[in-house]
Amino acid sequence: MSKVVKFGGSSLASAEQFRKVGNIIRADKERRYVVPSAPGKRFPKDTKVTDMLYSCYALAEEGKNFAGGLKEIRERYGEIISGLKLDLSLDEEFKTIEQNFKAKAGSNYAASRGEYLNGIIMANYLGFEFIDAAQVIFFDEHGDFDGEKTNEVLSAKLEGCECAVIPGFYGSLPDGTIKTFSRGGSDVTGSIVAKAAKADVYENWTDVSGFMIADPRIIDSPERIEVITYKELRELSYMGASVLHEDAIFPVRQEGIPINIRNTNAPEDEGTWIVGSTCQKSRYVITGIAGKKGFCSINIEKDMMNAEIGFGRKVLQAFEDQGISFEHVPSGIDTMTVFVHQDEFMHKEQQVVAGIHRLAKPDTIEIESDIALIAVVGRGMKSMRGTAGRIFAALAHNHINVKMIDQGSSEQNIIIGVSDQDFEVAIRAIYEIFVLTKL
């Protein structure tokens, strides 16, 4: 039996946090493979070490003096090492980093040192083997993650290794250059390691006790989601719910390994389980609500559109030509609406409109901005009648005009478009009807 445990930046921001992490790992012998992030914020106004590394390296790249920045980073690690009373010096490591900064080794290399150094400290603190992620996590020549090669090398490595620390966030390109995942990418490393280790569970330790049904910035102390499926999570994270990096789902999902989101500051909390499928009903009809502001709708009208084969394709072609992806395309008999991200669309608006005119020859095109999309997600919706009815009744009671409705064919989600200014009220109304009044 083995568990892979990934700890986020706030769980490793100080010696005190490291101690909590140490206790968690020692409390369960199955917690054999550890994936640390770089030290995060110790207090709200603090700076993450990853951000310090990016700024420090930006100076180096401009040929400016970066000694002060590097010293501050060194102090962050020094504080952890001395706080834990470790017999460990990072002098040589910092010498190498300084040289590589001078040689302009790249911002990916620079950022990766946050996890690399934290991994060395963690391995020393736990008495585990240190495995440099550059030796076991690979990207191909296009910079895409090479899952096959990674799994082969990494699983062979882990087989001969009882307990190890593998730093998150980075790997290497075929020529040995360091490359990172996108921000928050240690979650992805954790998932890759869990797959390679054929782990029973991937525990992802952070500073909240799992996923909440709705955003706590909108709902005061929302309830926790106990069990969520990968599919539901995809829908919610796509719509802005963030705890876990989007790509972290895929490696473990292929292997049917569950993810358990846990809180380093409240290790007794069960957290949230993310699973492939479950017979456990969610406590409410809905599993979660998430949403995003800042969408645009492009409403296209043409008489007899219904009879024109290929009309939709021509319209979408105009978006594709400008490299814009669409979110939803609800349609009527003579109308078709395309929802896009406002910030992606804004500066290409006129080219897209001209393209639609040229390709599809519509009668009119109208653009509306500042629309929010809200996803109401739940595996429980499938077998329930009246879910949509309840959502719209709740919105109507709160005087919210619904601009768009889209129910995915899986019947696991309903997407609603409202104006940006109604966004928060709409989320509260939906939360209230399903969770607070338990209808």
Report if residue 185 touches ligand ASP, rule: CB under 6 A. Answer: yes
Q: Which is nearer to ligand ASP, 185 or 355 (CB)?
A: 185
Separation between Cα atoms, residue 66 and residue 140, nearest integer Å: 31
The set of residues, in sequence order, having a beta carbon less than 8 Å from that of 366 and lying 6+ positions away, is 298, 299, 301
Q: Does 114 bind ligand ASP (CB under 6 A)?
A: yes
Q: DSSP per residue over 28-42, as a string?
A: -TTEEEEEE-----S
Under rule CB under 6 A, residue 38 binds ligand ASP: yes
Tokens of residue 16, six digits: 């005190």
Told to check if 183 binds ligand ASP by CB under 6 A, we report yes
Secondary structure of 100-152 as H, E, C letters: HHHCCCCHHHHHHHHHHHHHHHHHHHHCCEECCHHHCCEECCCCCECHHHHHH
Binding flag, residue 53, ligand ASP (CB under 6 A): no
Least distance (Å) between residue 353 CB and ligand ASP: 37
Q: How far is the CB of 49 from ligand ASP (least distance, A)?
A: 7
Min dist. Cβ of residue 187 to ligand ASP (A): 6
Stretch binding ligand ASP (CB under 6 A), from 71-79, 81-89, 180-188, 401-409: 180-188
For ligand ASP (CB under 6 A), the number of binding residues is 13
Residues within window 287-326 making contact with ligand ASP, judged by CB under 6 A: none
For ligand ASP, give the closer residue by CB, 56 or 336. 56
**Which one among 31, 48, 76, 231 touches ligand ASP, defined by CB under 6 A?**
48
Identity of the residue, 134 or 336, whose beta carbon is nearer to ligand ASP in the bound complex: 134
3-state secondary structure at position 405 = strand
**Which of 50, 204, 260, 282 forms a contact with ligand ASP (CB under 6 A)?**
50
The answer to the question of residue 9 lying near ligand ASP (CB under 6 A) is yes
Q: Which residue has the tokens 């709705």?
A: 214
Q: Is 186 a binder of ligand ASP (CB under 6 A)?
A: yes
Residue located via tokens 């009744």: 393
- Name which of 211 and 319 has its Cβ closer to ligand ASP: 211
User: Which of 10, 37, 206, 237 touches ligand ASP (CB under 6 A)?
Assistant: 37
CA distance 252 to 396: 41
DSSP string, 198-224: T-SEEEEEESSSS-BSS-TTTSSSPPB
Q: Which is nearer to ligand ASP, 259 or 427 (CB)?
A: 259
Is 169 among the residues that bind ligand ASP (CB under 6 A)?
A: yes
Which residue is it, tokens 């083997």? Answer: 129
Cα separation, 226 vs 269, in Å, equals: 11
Number of residues in the chain? 439
Chain residues binding ligand ASP by CB under 6 A are 9, 37-38, 48, 50, 114, 168-169, 183-187
